[in-house]
Amino acid sequence: MKVTVYPPITNASGPHSVTYEELERIARSAAGAIVTKSMTHCPRQGNPEPRLRSHLDNEIGSLNSMGLPNLGYQEYAKFIPKLKDFGKPVIASIASAPCAHKLPPVEQYREIALAIEKAGADALELNLSCPNLEDVPISMDPQSVRAVLHAVTRAVKIPIGVKLSPYNNVPKLFEEIARTLLDFEIAYVATINSEPLTLDIDLQTRTKVVRPNEGFGGLGGPAVLPIALAEVHRFYKFFQKHKARIAVWGVGGITKPEDAIKHFLAGASVVQIGTLFLWEGPHVFEKLWTGIQRWLTENGFSSIEEIIGQVREA
Ligand code: DHB
């Protein structure tokens, strides 16, 4: 099942996507869909501050250890019908996290998915890769990925996307995860989530830029563009080789139209914008889309479809 997003550019789950007001701003922008902050079973305040350094030195990116602050899925279930009135797909990002009720992660995903489908969401984006919780992300364990996908794909009929961590230098794990996905009806893979376990230091104060988790957090923005392109490309090639109808949505490092074009050439059919949206707000979708269309025209193409996956070997 496909999620149709036009223009093929949305926000990435996370920045400015927690409250109804923020989501309405995305709805009113040129973004082709509305993606929520990852919602969990219980509402969460998130990690202690400071937990976000939006601008690292030389604007190389952002570093965060937010800890999934969100209103809890029951609150989002109330917003979704209102957001749908804007006439673009509402994509609910969902995640599991420790909670007083001690419901196992698979059950958390299943219960949230059922409620959110009932609320009218157009698609689910399973965030399996939050870098800032105590446990190793589900995305790093093929058996756990299988268990979540097994439960959720049987529970709901709406399209399901899966948000994954970068597997950069662990090719065996990449292969195992990619193979696992082939066994399920998945609409898309969104890659990459923030690069985990990164650190930066404020030289003025000689302190780490974020406090939780001993200062280690997730990196996004221009610094991760080549990592994201590699992940997009190898998933694209893997799915082609196995004739799987799973789309790849490119996330990571897009601050200019040319960066988005690189994602499309690598194999992305939709792109998501995280750090730039954090920095500049909802006008970025219009700005990027205009630049993407200009690039296509100037280079003799009439649609994005003509360039998806068309990168040439050197
Ligand atoms: C958080 C979750 C993510 O998936 C991510 O990439 C970055 C931060 C969080 O809320 O901690």
225 in a structural domain: yes
61 in a structural domain: no
Per the structure, how many domains does the chain have?
1
203 in a structural domain: no
2 in a structural domain: no
Per-residue pLDDT of the chain (314 residues; tens, 9 = 90+): 899 999 999 999 999 999 999 999 999 999 999 999 999 999 999 999 999 999 999 999 999 999 999 999 999 999 999 999 999 999 999 999 999 989 999 999 999 999 999 999 999 999 999 988 888 899 999 999 999 999 999 999 999 999 999 998 899 999 999 999 999 999 999 999 999 999 999 999 999 999 999 999 999 999 999 999 999 999 999 999 999 999 999 999 999 999 999 999 999 999 999 999 999 999 999 999 999 999 999 999 999 999 999 999 99
Q: Which of 91, 130, 138, 232 is catalytic?
A: 130
Q: Is 42 a catalytic residue?
A: no
Q: What is the CATH number of the domain that holds 174?
A: 3.20.20.70
87 in a structural domain: yes
172 in a structural domain: yes
Please report the atom of ligand 1 found closest to the CA of residue 70.
10
Is the full-model pTM beyond 0.95? yes
3-state secondary structure of 146: helix
Query: What's 154-215 look like in SS3?
Result: HHCCCCEEEEECCCCCCHHHHHHHHHHHHCCCCCEEEECCCEEEECCEECCCCEECCCHHHH
Write out the residue range of the structural domain in which residue 290 sits.
9-45+67-196+220-306
Please report the atom of ligand 1 found closest to the CA of residue 130.
4
Give the tens place of pLDDT for each residue, 180-228.
Answer: 999 999 999 999 999 999 999 999 999 999 999 999 999 999 999 999 9
Kindly tell me the burial class for residue 134, based on how many C-beta atoms sit within 10 Å of its own C-beta (0-12, 13-18, 19 or more).
exposed
98 in a structural domain: yes
DSSP 78: H
Please report the atom of ligand 1 found closest to the CA of residue 193.
6
Q: Separation of 14 CA from ligand 1 center, angstroms?
A: 7
Q: Separation of 81 CA from ligand 1 center, angstroms?
A: 25
93 C-beta closer than 6 A to ligand 1: no
215 in a structural domain: no
Mutate to test the pocket of ligand 1, among 38, 54, 210 (most ligand atoms within 8 A of CB): 38
CA nearest to 234, candidates 307, 161, 164, 175: 175
Residue with tokens 């280079």: 299
304 C-beta closer than 6 A to ligand 1: no
